Amino acid sequence: MKTLEKNKNRKNNKKKVPENTVTTKRIKIAVSFALVIFVSLITRIGWIQFVQGAELKERASRQQTLNQIISPKRGNIYDVNKKVLATSADVDTITINPSKIAAKGDTKAETEEKTLALKEKVAKGLSDIFSLDYETVLAQVKSEASVETIVKKVEKNLVDELKEWMKENDITEGINIDEDTKRYYPYNNLAAHVIGFTGTDSQGLYGIEHKWDSTLKGTSGKIVTTVDRTGTQISDNAQQYIEVENGSDLYLTIDVNIQMMVEKYLEKGVTDNGATAGSAILMNPKTGEVLAMATYPSYNLNDPSTINNQEDLEKWDTYTAEEKADKRANMWADRNFSRAYEPGSTFKLILSAIALEEGITDTDVKNDFHCEGHIQVEDRKISCAESAVHGNQTLRDALRNSCNVAFIQLGSRIGKTTLYKYFDAFGLFERTGIAITGETRSNFHDINNLGPVELATTSFGQRFEITPLQLISAVSAIANDGTLVKPKIVKQIQNGMTGTITELDTEKTRNVISEQTAKKIRDMMKTVTEGRENIYGKVAGYEIGGKTGTSEPSPSHPEEGYAVSYLAIAPADEPEVIGLVVVYNPATKNPYGSRIAAPILSNILSEVLPYLGIASNESDVSNTTIATAKTSSMVDVTNKTLTEAKRTLENLGYKVVSADTENSNSVLVTEQVPAKNTQVLEGSTVILYTEENSVRTSVSVPNLIGLTLSEAKSALSDKNLNVSYSGSGKVVNQSTKEGEMIEQGSIITIKLE
């Protein structure tokens, strides 16, 4: 009992904890917890404020700022006579503001349902009108972005269709039609490899368009507007306007009329000989200005992705993506400077110039070279073409005969060190620097590996590669009294905002040979055209200096076939034009430059020389060309009002043709055909183009054979065409064949007998 009582007393006597002590403890825990939360919040705020602050501020600014980009107008590309080769037309870009494509309902659920239905309707309409994928457009319409681009470069007819659809469906917000531009090429295939083209973002991709992209494209402008979360402009905030800078215009040295002549005869020559391709260049050797540069086959600049080869078109679906890309790249490449070839005997002009300049020989040293039809070089027997035996020859004879043996002997006498020194001086080891994208390098033997056989083949133009542009540039130094100039394709740049014109000067590189040496080479070139090439390479009424070339297929690429060529200067004594035609892999039995390439360049020069007003050397006064007392140099009426231009021309006795306009007292003449300084007969027809009307018209050439001069002039005048002539009597030859389409105002050259 006592034990039980003790335990009970002990339990009852245990110390009790006051209630206020428990409360204090709980408060302390709560305060500590709150303090931890507070410190965490402060830390987080500090992190956001000081560490992430700049980034979050920028992100908020982006979300609250709507940037409307103003696209600059890309500069135009013109020929030397201000004919438009590339221009940008106004089109539209369609964008949407997804948040503004919304409907209203009585309840939140109804609003969401109606908005979804509206977005689906808009997506369906846009995808149908512009032939787009519906699901892709729907995702854009449902996007939370402030702006989504639906389609770029939209033609007017589709924009009109969209506007009508919006009107029919009572949609006034959320779909934007913004002004944009699209690149157009009025002449389609003409000078395609020179001009190049742009991509969907108006960025230059090939040719002039790519090389001069930064000059042509200008700088975008911008309108910066502050918007709320729905994309609506906050009216209290002023817009910031960054001015657009339009691109500059380029004026090329290319002449559209000469380019047409070159392309016409190049295409005919390539197709008539069943060749794979062809290239042609016409230059002014004194200034380096390229008058025309063509590659055949060409392609349509307005549809550059469509392949131009029928065989490839038929097999297109079987090609891999890589093969398709290679085919297009090959089609877009300009053979004049993007593809190297073996020049063959045209290169003998360079060897001759080196030999004369170094005093190794002269033009008419008797028995200077001896040819038995072949020559042994180490273990190689190298023959002349068709193993012709030329016997004893002077340098003039060797050049006229295109004797491989003689030039092997000459190359050996010059030596590889001197040869390579002059090759370098002629610019053959480097790109010409012409202002177009895609120029490739030459491919010569390393001088340390140039043994006797390599020296021999190099001496007559084979087993090394240069571009046609490198060759014509080098020979231009011979035509230009020994001075090498840089090829020039852009003549002027006109600022797109101020109109200021910058003239690009001729760049003289260096003096390569003496004036005396150059004259001797030109004299020998006249002898060449008086020989076996006379019947193929001559130009009636003009003294031409020329040289043909035929290079055999490379042993490593026999499938590429022969490359045949003809290079000529005119007039031979005082050259104003130099031309080079190369035809690749002809299917003819005897592929010689004299029989294939020479007639092409002869036909070209027969039209180009009179067009340029270069007087012929006909001795009979009655047989003079258009440069007679009855001809005059065409005046320049561009940048005059249409009324003033008409009055000026009519007072000079010309027939004037232009589109009717009510604004003739204010609208300016932008182009004229024939161009200024062209030699034309009295009473010729002049076609005027204005800012309002630049559409060109082509007409079919009539048959003039058998007509008198008066009858021919009348027949051409009826078609708004002009005439130049030589001789007297009746027409026996016309430069442009019956039925061919030619631009109004063009000049047809006829021969009378």
Looking at the domain assignment, is residue 261 inside a domain?
Answer: no
More confident position, 497 or 242: 497
pLDDT of residue 682: 79
- Inter-residue contact 130 to 101 (CB < 8 Å): no
Provide the number of structural domains found in the chain: 3
What is the DSSP secondary structure assignment for residue 47, as one 8-state letter? I
Query: What stretch of H or E contains 722?
Result: strand 722-727
Looking at the domain assignment, is residue 27 inside a domain?
Answer: no
pLDDT of residue 666: 77
Mean pLDDT of all residues belonging to the chain: 86
Same domain, 507 and 464: yes
Same domain, 88 and 113: yes
Computed from CA positions of residues 126, 129, 132, 135, in that sequence, does the dihedral angle turn out positive or negative?
positive
pLDDT of residue 711: 81
Same domain, 397 and 479: yes
Q: What is the mean pLDDT of residues 603-622?
A: 77
Show the domain range for 561: 344-535+546-611
What residues contact 268, with CB distance under 8 A and at least 6 apart? 600
| pLDDT, tens only, 137-176 | 999 999 888 889 998 878 778 888 998 999 899 888 889 8
Query: What stretch of H or E contains 610?
Result: helix 593-611
pLDDT of residue 629: 34
| pLDDT, tens only, 348-389 | 999 999 999 999 999 999 999 999 999 999 999 999 987 889
| pLDDT, tens only, 3-25 | 545 555 555 554 555 556 667 77
More confident position, 45 or 380: 380
What CATH code is carried by the domain that includes residue 498? 3.40.710.10
Percent of the chain exceeding pLDDT 70 equals: 89
Same domain, 590 and 634: no
Same domain, 582 and 438: yes
Looking at the domain assignment, is residue 180 inside a domain?
Answer: yes
Same domain, 668 and 580: no
Same domain, 638 and 604: no
Q: What is the dihedral of CA 39, 45, 51, 56, to 10 degrees?
A: 160
Same domain, 556 and 649: no
Examine the pLDDT at 226 and tell me if it is beyond 90: no
| pLDDT, tens only, 279-338 | 999 999 999 999 999 999 999 999 999 998 888 888 999 999 999 999 999 999 999 999
Residue 677 and residue 686: Cα distance in Å, rounded? 13
Looking at the domain assignment, is residue 260 inside a domain?
Answer: no
Percent of the chain exceeding pLDDT 90 equals: 53
Residue 179 pLDDT level (bands cut at 50, 70, 90):
confident
Q: What is the mean pLDDT of residues 510-534?
A: 87
List the alpha helices (DSSP H) in 492-592: 515-530, 534-537
Residue 625 pLDDT level (bands cut at 50, 70, 90):
very low
Same domain, 607 and 630: no
Q: What is the mean pLDDT of residues 58-79?
A: 70
For 541, other C-beta atoms within 10 Å of its C-beta total 20
Tell me the three state secondary structure of residue 753: coil
